[in-house]
Every structure is written in C-alpha cells, then in structure tokens.
Amino acid sequence: MTKVVLDEQTLTDKVLKTYSEQQSEMILRAFSLAKKAHEGQFRLSGEPYIIHPCHVANILIDLGMDAESVAAGFLHDVLEDTEVTREQLIEQFGEGVVSLVEGVTKLNKLQFKSKEQAQAENLRKMLLAMAKDVRVIIIKFADRLHNMRSLSFKPEDAQVAISKETMEIYAPLAARLGMSQVKGELEDLSMRYLYPKEYYELVNLIASKKEQRDEFVKNVTEELRVKLEEMGIHFEINGRAKHFYSIYRKMQRQNSSIDQIYDLVAIRIIVDTVKDCYNVLGLVHSMWTPLPGRFKDYIAMPKANMYQSLHTTVLNSYGNPFEVQIRTSEMHRLAEYGIAAHWKYKDGKTDRTLDEKIRWIREVMALHESDVEDSAEYLNSLKTEMFNDEVFVFTPQGDVKNLPAGSTIVDFAYAIHSDVGNKCVGGKINMKIVSLSTKLKTGDIVEIITSPNAKPSRDWLRFVASPSTKARIRQYFKRTMRDENIRIGR
C-alpha cells in the first residue's frame, strides 16, 4: 500500500478548494481545536496524534462527504481522549457535528465477555448507528482505514485480531453500502496481516507482470478508443487493476495459479446514457468473442448495494479472457462512493432516496433483535442477511427480487410479504410447478401459489436460506402460541 503523505497546508488548501467559505471556516476551526486538544499525544509510530484525525478528515473529503462529517472526522477522538467536553463542542459546532462525534465515540467504547459477543455487539451497534445516521459509519470506515494503513506499529497479535475484524465486519459492511474503493483497500490491508505469505507472493508476481499488463491495457484501450470515436459518443476509458484479495479469492475458488487468472485488470468504459451502455456492449461483443455465462446486467438488475454496471468477459485474439465494465458516469459515482455519494456536493442534506436505500438496516435489525438471543447465532444470521452472495429473480410482473444465495420458493414468498409466505402452498419456477424447497437461480421467474387456509410448517426452517424468512416463520409460531395461551386463559 502506498503511504499517503499529508501536511497541514495541503489539507487546508484542499478544504478551501472543496467547500464553501462558511463550511471551510467550520472545518478549519475543528482542525484547530483537535490540534490543540491532542497536543502532547503521540501514535505508536511516534508521530503526533493529530496526524490520525487529519488522515481521517482527508479520507472523508476524498469520499465527498459534507462539512459536518469532515469536522467530525477531525474531532472524532476528542471526547474520548482529551479534556474537551460535549458542551464545548456544542457551543462551537452545534448538535449536528456533536451527534456524529458521539456516535463514533460510542462505537469505540464497546467491551465484551467473548469473541462472538464482541463481534455480534459491535455489528449490532454499528447497525443501530447507521439506522440513526449512516454518516457515523462512514466516519468509522475512514478511522478504520487509516488505522489499517498504520497497523504495522501494533503488536503482531493485535495486527491479526484487528485485521480479522476488518475482514469479517468492516469490509463486507462497506461492500453492502456500495463503497467499493473502501472495501477493496480494507480487504487488501487485512490480507497483508492474515495471509502474509500469500499476500507478498501475489504482490511480487503481479509486479513482475506489470509491463506485460500495461502493454495489454494500452493495446485494448487504443483499439476501443478508435471504435468508440467512430460511434460519436462521449466516453472515458481506463484499465483498473483488480485488488489483491479479489485476485487471491478467485485463485482459491478456481484452484488456479496467477498465470491462469487473466483478468487481473478490468477495462472500464464510462458513457453518458443507459442507451450508450448497451450500444457499447454490442460494440465490444463485435470486436471480441464473448465468453458464455460471463455476462452480467446489473443495470437491469441492480445489486442490493445500489451497484449498476454491465459486465462482460471476452476473449482477445490470443484466446486470453479479460473483463469489460460499462456504466454511466452517475453509476460510476455510486459504484465508487456508494452510500457516501448521497452527500457529494450537498450541505449535510441527502437526496430523498437515501432512506429507501438504508431501510434494509432497520428491517434486518427489527427482525433479528426479537428473534435471536444467542450471540453467535445473532452474528451469523446478520452476516448471512447482509454479506452473502445474492440471486436475482423475477415476479411474473417483471419486478426484481434480490435474495441470499440458496434461497427457496418459501424465501421468495416471504420476500413479497409475510402474509404471502404464511399462506404459501406451492410455487412455479419458469411456469413449472416445483417443491417448496427448490433453490432459486438468477433469472428465474417465480410465481407463488397460496391458499387462504394454509399455515407455515416448522419443517420449512430446515431448508429456507434467508434469516429474515426464518425470523418471520418463528414469529408466526410465537404469535400463534401466545394467542392460544390467551384463549385458554394461561
């Protein structure tokens, strides 16, 4: 990882260039207070402590976050680690900034009895904070990202423990919020400490093939540039190196060596409109042979984290496959920044779609809070709900439903509505009647058959995949038992 060098003047200039005069004044006041409050404190690296808040604020600026978030980035440790009081912060910066600082401080103060309890409670607190104000988690991501960049100064056991938590909780959560750049760097930094041998082998192997890879990207982009200019559309084109951990996982999945992984880079084409995306896809497929089964249309079927793009893998004239991603500039902004994109160029206000985008947090929390008491089970159910792979299936009306991989007819029924799930007696996939335990595949058209007198079966708990489905089935039986007890006067 390249070390980000940051000096006070560069950061000040960046703030003044990015934010309005009034916003810049507040941010720089936060910087000044943090610098004074942390005076005499040092990091394990021996650097003055203020270096850390500066890097956190800098990451938040790069993510396009609003002025309140950047100010809170500078101040995120002052309540916990200095003599500054809540009242002083409110007087100088108002409730908005203080609420963010307190949110991050609460996440830092967690203490637990066991590893499972620690992770479960940490994830639960993060979700609660997100449901209240998702900016708290984005500040926490920036905090964790800089701590991971400077993790080499920690003892070895701490490096492994922090990297494991980062890999298991922070990186998947960043992915779920669509923050691909943050997720990729967190995974690469974690891999460095969790799998050091494999990490450095991969780094050296990829470095040794850099010239060959650069030449390949140059040739492909030049060929594409000529054809795209002939189309007369506005476009940007670049080759993006894939993250180390992403390559490592692919090697594990395919049981292959680095020499057999050809798509170490993705060619990315950014255009103005959705129509242009599909026209460019046609062009790419006319230039090179598409690989069957490797085309994904995330424009028609967006991922749950808002990601949209066309992905295709094609064979060049030497028979080597490479990936091409095609998207609009707006899709690209969302793909890079995810949920953070909703604050870009805004004064602490988000667009009205944000509540819809994070509604899943509240739904997941509500279901699992009432259903699971055991820490390990709670953690596993939340992880399954949020971080697993997905299948994309259709209702007969053409609506898309995103479900966890391994979902069944019953999972689909409950995804429509609890009443549909409770009354489900059968289902059809692509117009053929199937059993309730049949697993769904991406692209399936699913129809649910219901009966007004039907009831759920406890047997369903053995084969359904979604923790939300399990929670709803259990809730039905709890409610039924409670109603029966009331009826007989218990």
Residues tagged active-site: 80-81
SS3 content of the chain, % helix, strand, coil (to 5): 60, 10, 25
Token pair for 428: 């059809």
- Residue type at position 194: L
- In sequence order, the 6+-apart residues with CB closer than 8 A to the CB of 6 are 51, 54, 55, 58
Phi, psi values for residue 347, rounded to 5°: -90, 65
Phi, psi dihedrals of residue 112, rounded to the nearest 5°: -140, 165
Antiparallel, parallel or unpaired: β 265-271 and 321-328: parallel
What's the rounded Cα separation, in Å, for the pair 184 and 170? 11
Q: Phi, psi at residue 444, to the nearest 5°?
A: -65, 145
Amino acid at 88: Q
Distances (CA, A) of 180 to 15, 91, 176, 336, 339: 24, 37, 9, 6, 10
Query: 394-419: b or e for each residue (b if 16 or more CB lie within 10 Å)?
Result: beeeeeebbbbebbbbbbbbbbbebe
Give the Cα separation of 181 and 150 in Å (integer). Answer: 18
Determine which helix (DSSP H) or strand (DSSP E) holds 297, and give its type and residue range. strand 296-297
Q: Is 268 left (phi over 0), alpha (psi -120 to 50) or beta?
A: beta
